[in-house]
Structure 1
């Protein structure tokens, strides 16, 4: 079993354009901001968490995350080049990381399964990335594990060429795609679901409330 230290980057630098005027990372579920839910869940799977965001987001994130009773350090990493998408956020964050591999999880996945993140770390060994395939056949690079050094090299080259697609970067990495059938055996599809709109947020949190009420 892999016992190397593990790091995770939470991607939170987007503009939440489909969510309304509120930063969706700060939308509360049971009184706790969504970004805190993600970070709290990841804390049981990794040894350090970095939050990639725009500089103007940092004060609000500091307030929310400083109140989180996490067992691992959580650090804010403002993106020196905002508005260039998740690949840029990953590269700038990975440059602050010393571990061989790091998980990447979007801030709008509040039901991320830490056991599945651990599974992705195990699967990534010997590859540049381990990326789950969704039930619609698409891959989910915003909840995946990457080899830090190689991802920085490829990412820097692509960003210099103004090729900003994170999915595009997978084609230049030795990427292990976890088949959808395997993913469904390891976790629920809900754990990989990202919340983009206010309607999705209401529906997903209502589902969460219903699940708790039924327990």
Structure 2
């Protein structure tokens, strides 16, 4: 890609219902909240980080990021209507993104690999989306790079008809899929895994994720 500015959006506005104990974004691995881990890793891959969240989450998130020295490197995009799903969070956040392309990642991917994100950015020129394929053929849209204006336009169309699926947006986007074999060559599969339960979190803590 030719655009020198790179941005990232961290989606953190969900209610963590499946997680079950508090806000998942603030759940700690070895003493460090997952949101802090994700933002910290992103700062080596992008110029601007936006955290997409609900209004009531902001103060706790700012406190956690401030304690890690990351507050000045982070902006916030507050969801106008809470919990409408990732597509709405992306659309709202992209209103504040100035770069041509932006990465979108979930707040619960503490092993995020900034080098792999840079790999995705490098393959984004001309595409609406660059998305890694997981083993088994499924896509991982929550660890991908998107063309800001095109995705915002498609999101407007879908949300206007109350269609909230992020996967559904790919039917309208010119998407470059990074095959699973290539993903395996470029990064550890664990970098694409999210934390859905306390057991997942305990597993990462035991393995000393850094």
CA distance in 2, matches of 1:94, 1:3: 16
Q: Which residue of 1 aligns with 2:171?
A: 171
> How far does the alpha carbon of each residue in 1:24-71 deviate from its partner, in whole angstroms, 9 at most, with x for none?
100111211100000000000000000001111111001011222349
Q: Which has the higher contact order (CA 8 A, sep 6+)?
A: 2
Distance 1:39 1:93, change over 3 A: same
Does residue 5 of structure 1 match 2:5?
Answer: yes
CA contact (8 A) 2:30 2:208 kept: no
SS at match of 1:149: helix
SS at match of 1:124: coil
CA contact (8 A) 2:3 2:100 kept: no
Q: Which residue of 1 aligns with 2:37?
A: 37
RMSD: 1.5
Does residue 190 of structure 1 match 2:152?
Answer: no
Alignment length (residue pairs): 210
Q: Which residue of 2 aligns with 1:117?
A: 117
Aligned pairs for 1:47-196 (under 5 A) are 47-70=47-70, 73-196=73-196
CA distance in 2, matches of 1:168, 1:152: 14
**Unmatched segments (≥5 aa) in structure 1:** none
TM-score normalised according to structure 1 size: 0.94
CA contact (8 A) 2:29 2:204 kept: no
Distance 1:187 1:127, change over 3 A: same
